[in-house]
A = this chain, B = another copy of it.
């Protein structure tokens, strides 16, 4: 099923075309940095590797299909514009890793760890960890700025860009707001399902699906009906996508997810799944959850104990049902507007694949 998503993302050779446009854009930016001074070479290299080595390219894919759905024809310009979303995402991830103090990202050292190591290897003065953090803040900022530049220099006409920008900007404000609510929720620990769902809506649903689709539509000059249909498709699908992530974070097979089993439990992630089980657990179960969730050294037995509670309380079945309902709702919403038939087929496939994936 993970393959089904990957396959869909390959439609129209999309993945390779996104990769190519990112590689070309970054090569140009890195030349610009090198012209300032060769001390900036590690900055350029780190960003090229970070952006080009990983990622499913889900956001550019939705932007591309959002454009096609609104009747836009398949050009290199829209692929380049859509690829700019990967740079926004790279900036958000680099900053996120600093905030979470995560050591790795996609099996590689996080950017702040990479620059901490550069400091250490070079025998520079001062604290290597602070150097790493400073570098990561700046590299994340560069990605956000470059995202802008990539959209702008995509070759799309000026009036299309002016139409698309409000959505591009709104998407970024929303994801930052969502991140803040997430950090706040970790600190306040209300553990409510409502709070977790809201974080999912802003950090994932709008950011990953609704806004990328709408950006594509705005760039293509779509009318109100298409924009509204993309909300009706994107928000439930995005929530379903996040709920699937919640399930995989606890029940996923490491061979398919690429992450250790039960990793979300060790990190103490405040997911909708965790909030629901927290609400339903009896006193004995609550004690187990309290002990296990957020325990960085949680072993396999501990993971199994939590899984059992999630199943016993009926939360797993209910979250699976929420995923399915939202996926259906998303697919049904595609009928409401006069969308291009090929795009409807792709978006239907993406909805099915994204919510039934195993990694």
Contacts and interface: CB of A to CB of B under 8 A. Distances in A.
Copies in the complex: 2
Contact of A126 (B162, B169, B172, B187): B187
Interface of A: 29, 32-33, 36-37, 39-40, 43, 91, 95, 98-99, 101, 119, 122, 124-126, 130-131, 133-135, 137-138, 140-142, 144-146, 148-149, 152-153, 158-159, 161-162, 165-166, 169, 172-174, 176-177, 179-181, 183-184, 186-189, 198, 202
Contact of A159 (B101, B144, B158, B180): B158
11 contacts: A36-B181, A91-B141, A122-B188, A138-B179, A138-B180, A144-B145, A146-B169, A149-B165, A149-B169, A158-B161, A158-B162
Query: Which DSSP category, helix, strand, loop or mixed, fits chain A's interface?
Result: helix
Contacts of A101: 130
A205 to B, nearest CB: 13
A229 B297 CA distance: 62
Given A130-B101, A134-B99, A162-B161, A169 B181 contact: no
A40 B138 contact: no
A98 B135 CA distance: 12
A-B CB proximity, top 3 nearest: A124-B187, A99-B134, A158-B162
